[in-house]
Chains A and B, each alone.
Chain A
């Protein structure tokens, strides 16, 4: 079984079993400071839902039909014992569903250390910075208590270095895919990055290097496909089948929001000075623009998709939001209006992580890809 398909988190469990003193800390989407988890000696494990391979039996009893799918599959994973290896779980301030889930966890799993991570929405260093620095120091204290090994400054610096390597590898993978999407299909890239969420960072780096080398050797053949950005799936993840469907319908995905936390900080975090302060500054000033954080610029939402399209040299945008996902769906009219004002072709659809029928997406994406090509030819 591929790592990204393993609902039992086998590799994480193996890592824990190697040494009885080891512990793991999970985090939900979108952004949690992995450095803090690593520096505390814990294994960070991304919990991104159960996808389309998990039958929901208990999870539905916790959620009304008008709430997205992700939390019910996360509850299902927990209720079936699949998350019992986590000593701590972090709930970032992505939306009110994840926020409330943090309280549910406190009620249901009192033995797990649960922390809600309120990302600062104020970017001034004196105000937002002090707040976030305090949050991270609190988290370091709490996770240090979990591992029994409170992090020192050097541990944090070491973790920053490791995460810088991780981020730089993710950037490199995205660069190669952007330049040669036929050599790095998103179906493969996504599987690799999904695995990265549940294995030790070093393991991922080895696999990713090998993958890039193989992609270099067997570059695949360029096809006549349209280059698209898939925007809006930053939390609940689309099933792999949907990604494949989009690609097979004639699109190269050249940018996306999948697993966005792995590149939430956009560049390397400096390792000199106070490491917590450096992590704070990175979050305040160097984050990817997403619905998770307030858009400070008046016309920022209008410009965002044009900027992304230019950076990825994309031909069009597929807005793919999880059903009932407030952050994605409330953002969409602003992003789409901006894109359309710049004559960027767009389509939009909604999915759920357990969507099983792809026919409708195939047709939509196929027609979209064709129309982009037609349009391009007419220019």
Chain B
């Protein structure tokens, strides 16, 4: 029973992505406007309510990484004067652009009609779109999402974002698409978002079971794909999440673990929480290091970069602009360090984890700056040791398999010996 169902959600996702890239490729002919934007704070429902197509450069970069293309793109960007020291997503994107702008699945990417700079949780976004604007000479709207410096979204910050959406962004979308803002349509879409968010949370929280029916890091990056990109609030998105939830619930009922590239992981020796983005260039190899040790990830912070839903937030069709402001402000990298530490500590407790791993990526100051303190604080508050490993997102030069494997193995051995000591 499980296999066909599993195939169905994966199959659906594949088709959705391929169809979206195809539609993007055809956009210059069909006249569908294209809006480039970022995963954290993406306003997909709003963009789509104007019949525009979202394109997310981060997704292109990570897909290029998974398909072995990012190394070349990065070197093209570095040859063009970009520093070795900066975020490799940006360089991968610039390199792809300079190499003909062919998408990771081989389709041609359209130029943007609008750069929607949703400035949520990452400084680099600002530079990224300043750089793209140099290439495309198209309008740019800056949507400034205040950081949760005090650990909450202040009412005046929410109002600031609402004003920007209402007074700057919507008029810009009206101009470039030639359509009027249609709030009813937006509300319909937000309702679909909320139901997909319910499904996603059910899927992610299924990891509280033993065995966990999902891998909440390596497996879950696929699960969040549609909702973090072009499909939140769409009928295809809803169908995908409905079907994914059904599959996962079946696995729970059958007491099965996730299906990994190495096969099913039903026998789970370690339950881990992971902080930080994955490495994409050696993604399978990285995952295998965990499955070889029968380690399953039960919760991760990375799967919250495009929205935190397990704290109860849902898009609320009754207050379309306010809910978009809340959504943007709540994305993971927009949380301050104490908030991130709390999230990890809560995950470790709620998911009954044996330990936690931080994957620190060279590219990303937004994630990485402060992670060593997070490590210490989480250790202090949970009494559990953590593992700290280092790699990069899409720069293959920074994935040292032997080092990472060694570190992970010795960490798990340490957990094992703590466990034996506790038993004796």
Chain A: residues with CB nearer than 8 A to chain B?
61-64, 66-67, 71, 91, 93, 95-97, 99-104, 106-108, 115-116, 118, 120-122, 124, 126-128, 130-131, 134, 291, 294-296, 298, 301-302, 321, 323-327, 329-334, 336-337, 350
Contact = CB atoms under 8 A, between A and B. Distances in A.
Contact of B372 (A63, A99, A115, A126): A63
B152 to A, nearest CB: 12
Contacts of B372: 61-64
A104 B83 contact: no
Nearest first, the 7 A-B pairs at minimum CB distance are A103-B337, A116-B149, A330-B127, A329-B83, A121-B144, A100-B370, A103-B336
Contacts of B168: 122, 124, 127
A149 B147 CA distance: 28
A131 B143 CA distance: 13
A323 B80 contact: no
7 contacts: A66-B368, A122-B168, A127-B168, A134-B156, A294-B119, A333-B81, A337-B134
A99 B146 CA distance: 11
A329 B167 contact: no
Contact of A323 (B82, B85, B126, B370): B85
Given A93-B147, A118-B147, A126-B167, A103 B370 contact: yes
Contacts of A350: 83, 85
Contact of A127 (B119, B167, B336): B167
B176 interface: no
Contact of B126 (A100, A121, A302, A329): A121
A325 B372 CA distance: 19
B122 interface: yes
A107 B87 contact: no
B156 A96 contact: no
Contact of B373 (A107, A115, A321): A107
Contacts of A331: 127, 130
B180 to A, nearest CB: 22
B283 interface: no
Contacts of B414: none
Given A104-B370, A122-B144, A329 B85 contact: yes
Contacts of B86: 326, 329-330
A295 B366 contact: no
Interface string B109-130: 0000000010100111011101
Given A61-B372, A103-B337, A131 B160 contact: yes
A122 B164 contact: yes
Given A64-B368, A121-B142, 11 more contacts: A64-B390, A91-B149, A96-B366, A97-B369, A102-B337, A103-B337, A116-B149, A116-B336, A121-B144, A122-B168, A126-B167
